Chains A and B, each alone.
Chain A
Amino acid sequence: QKEVEQDPGPLSVPEGAIVSLNCTYSNSAFQYFMWYRQYSRKGPELLMYTYSSGNKEDGRFTAQVDKSSKYISLFIRDSQPSDSATYLCAVQGGSEKLVFGKGTKLTVNP
């Protein structure tokens, strides 16, 4: 079983749509959860960091963690063409390394 599973998409939505991105993880030792945005051939840019179950909101972005189901989500409200990128979930716990999902490629069409 892979440590982190993420649907690679691609996902295409119209501008203004609500986007839902998801990951599942297998190891309950993971206690820290991050979402990164990555533009083509660029470095991952940190969007959200959380360590507790529940929701965390930052502007148009909401990160949701359900530790009982080992399920994490990122919601993007009022999506914009500039949100078009690959979104990576990452988990951490029990060691220093981040374990990444494969990434979901999102396109927001004007």
Chain B
Amino acid sequence: EPEVTQTPSHQVTQMGQEVILRCVPISNHLYFYWYRQILGQKVEFLVSFYNNEISEKSEIFDDQFSVERPDGSNFTLKIRSTKLEDSAMYFCASCPQPNTEAFFGQGTRLTVV
């Protein structure tokens, strides 16, 4: 069964460092998303991406964040200068069309120390 895959599963980084979280969406999907979940809190929307550009972003997704689809399969989230409060689980999701079923990856646990 096709699935969204994310790497790494766990990333520890020092405050101020840049991190790149990687995702391989389901192959025939066209819409890609990043969400995050701080421990004990709700899953929160960060950004949606379609046709090689951001289609929607939340207030959380400030200038420190960027997304890219560098090739035909990968979808990345970059955090330029990590802060302690960026520590969270980051989930990538994809769906074939908007307003249809969104499938999530297993997440990357980011720990900023």
Nearest CB of B to A44, in Å:
5
The stretch of B64-72, B75-83, B99-107 in contact with A is: B99-107
Please indicate the chain A residues that have their CB under 8 angstroms from the CB of B101 in the complex. Answer: 34, 46, 49
Please indicate the chain A residues that have their CB under 8 angstroms from the CB of B28 in the complex. Answer: none
Main secondary structure, interface of A, reads loop
The tally of residues in B whose CB lies under 8 Å from a CB in A reads 28
Chain A interface size, under 10 / 10 to 19 / 20 to 34 / 35 or more? 20 to 34
One digit per residue, 1 when the CB lies within 8 angstroms of any chain B CB and 0 when it does not, for chain A 74-91 equals 000000000000001010
Q: Is A99 an interface residue (CB 8 A)?
A: yes
Q: Is B87 an interface residue (CB 8 A)?
A: no
The stretch of A9-17, A58-66, A100-108 in contact with B is: A100-108
Cα–Cα, bound, A77→B44 (Å)? 29
Main secondary structure, interface of B, reads strand
Cα–Cα, bound, A42→B108 (Å)? 9
> Could you tell me if B43 and A88 are in contact, using CB atoms closer than 8 angstroms?
yes
| A97-B43 contact in complex given A46-B102, A92-B99, C-beta closer than 8 Å | no
> Could you tell me if A100 and B43 are in contact, using CB atoms closer than 8 angstroms?
yes
> Could you tell me if A96 and B98 are in contact, using CB atoms closer than 8 angstroms?
yes
Please indicate the chain A residues that have their CB under 8 angstroms from the CB of B103 in the complex. Answer: 46
One digit per residue, 1 when the CB lies within 8 angstroms of any chain B CB and 0 when it does not, for chain A 4-46 equals 0000000000000000000000000001101010000111111
Nearest CB of B to A89, in Å:
11
Please indicate the chain A residues that have their CB under 8 angstroms from the CB of B33 in the complex. Answer: 96-98
| A43-B106 contact in complex given A32-B99, A88-B43, C-beta closer than 8 Å | yes
Nearest CB of B to A42, in Å:
6
Q: Is B17 an interface residue (CB 8 A)?
A: no
Cα–Cα, bound, A88→B89 (Å)? 16
> Could you tell me if B91 and A97 are in contact, using CB atoms closer than 8 angstroms?
no
Cα–Cα, bound, A95→B107 (Å)? 23
Interface residues in chain A, defined as those with a beta carbon under 8 Å from any beta carbon in chain B: 31-32, 34, 36, 41-46, 49, 51, 88, 90, 92-93, 95-103
Which 8 A/B pairs are nearest by Cβ-Cβ distance?
A: A97-B45, A43-B104, A100-B43, A96-B48, A43-B106, A49-B101, A44-B104, A43-B107
